[in-house]
A and B are shown apart, each in its own frame.
Chain A
Amino acid sequence: MTPLDWLSLLALLGIGGVLSRLSPRESRTYWRRFRRDRAALVGAAVLALVGALGLLGPLLAPDPRVVPGQALQPPLFFPVEASVPLRCLGETTVSGGTRLCHGTLAHPLGTTGSGADLLALVVAGARVSLQVALVTTAIVATLGTLVGTTAAYAGGAVDELLMRYVDLQATFPSFFLFVLLSYLFEPSLFLLVCLFGLLGWENTARLVRAEALQRVSEPYVRAAEAAGAGRGWVLRRHVLPNVSNSVVVTVTLLVPAFVLLEASLSFLGLTAPSVPSWGRTVAAGRGDLTTAPWVATVPGVALFCTVLALNFVGDGLRDALDPREVNA
Chain B
Amino acid sequence: MSLSVRDLRVTIGDARPVDGVSFDLDAGGTLCVVGESGAGKTTLCEALVGLTDGEVDGSVTLDGEDVLETPQTFRGTRIGFVFQDAAGSLNPVMTARANVAEGLRARGVGRRDARERADDLLARVGAPEVGGAHPNELSGGEARRVALAAALAGDPDYLVLDEPTAGLDAPTGRAVLSLLADLRDAGLALLVVTHDLGTVAALGGDALVLYGGKTMERAPVEALFDDPAHPYTRALLDAAPGGYELPTPIPGEPPSPSNPPAGCRFHPRCPHATDDCRMGEQPPLYDAGEGEASCVYYGPGYDPEELE
Contact = CB atoms under 8 A, between A and B. Distances in A.
Please determine whether chains A and B interact with each other in the same assembly: yes
Interface of A: 23, 25-26, 218-220, 222-230, 233, 237-238, 241-242, 326
Contact of B103 (A26, A222, A228, A242): A228
Given A228-B106, A229-B106, A223 B90 contact: yes
B147 interface: yes
B103 A227 contact: yes
B141 interface: no
A238 B154 CA distance: 18
Nearest to A22: B93
A228 B147 CA distance: 14
B154 A219 contact: no
A233 B81 CA distance: 18
A229 B91 contact: no
A242 B93 contact: yes
Given A220-B92, A222-B51, A228 B72 contact: yes
A229 B104 CA distance: 9
A227 B83 contact: no
B150 A223 contact: yes
Nearest to B160: A226
Contact of A226 (B49, B99, B134): B49
Interface of B: 49, 51, 72-73, 75-77, 80-81, 83, 85, 88-93, 95, 99, 102-103, 105-107, 134, 136, 147, 150-151, 153-154
Contacts of A241: 91, 93
Nearest to B147: A223
A261 to B, nearest CB: 33
A220 B89 contact: yes
Nearest to A225: B51
Given A227-B106, A228-B107, A237-B91, 15 more contacts: A219-B83, A219-B89, A220-B92, A224-B91, A224-B102, A226-B51, A226-B75, A226-B81, A228-B77, A229-B102, A230-B72, A230-B106, A237-B105, A238-B91, A242-B93
Contact of A237 (B73, B77, B102): B102
A230 B90 CA distance: 17
B152 to A, nearest CB: 10
Contact of B91 (A26, A220, A228): A220
A222 B83 contact: yes
B89 A225 contact: no
A227 B98 CA distance: 13
A183 to B, nearest CB: 48
15 contacts: A223-B83, A224-B91, A224-B103, A224-B106, A226-B75, A227-B75, A227-B103, A227-B150, A227-B151, A228-B76, A228-B77, A228-B106, A229-B102, A237-B102, A241-B91
A220 B75 CA distance: 15
Of A25, A226, A233, which is in contact with the most chain B CB atoms at under 10 Å from its CB? Answer: A226
What's the dominant secondary structure at chain A's contact region?
Answer: helix
A226 B93 contact: no
B7 to A, nearest CB: 23
B88 A218 contact: yes
A226 B91 contact: no
Contacts of A229: 76, 102-103, 106
A27 to B, nearest CB: 13
B89 A223 contact: yes
A242 B136 CA distance: 14
Contacts of A228: 72-73, 75-77, 103, 106-107, 154
A226 B148 CA distance: 12
Contact of B85 (A219, A224, A226, A326): A219
Nearest to A240: B93
Contact of B81 (A26, A218, A223): A223
B92 A242 contact: yes
Contacts of A26: 93
- The 9 A-B residue pairs with the shortest CB-CB distance in the complex, in nearest-first order: A228-B76, A227-B103, A229-B106, A223-B89, A226-B81, A219-B88, A228-B75, A219-B89, A227-B76
Contacts of A222: 51, 83, 89
Contacts of A227: 75-76, 80-81, 102-103, 106, 150-151, 153-154
Contacts of A237: 91, 102, 105-106
A199 B272 CA distance: 69
Contacts of A326: 136
Contacts of A230: 72, 106
Contacts of A242: 91-93
A241 B99 CA distance: 14
A125 to B, nearest CB: 39
B83 to A, nearest CB: 5
Nearest to A226: B81
A241 B106 CA distance: 16
A215 to B, nearest CB: 10
Contacts of B92: 220, 242
A4 B102 CA distance: 38
Of A218, A219, A224, A227, which is in contact with the most chain B CB atoms at under 10 Å from its CB? Answer: A227
Of A219, A220, A233, A238, which is in contact with the most chain B CB atoms at under 10 Å from its CB? Answer: A220
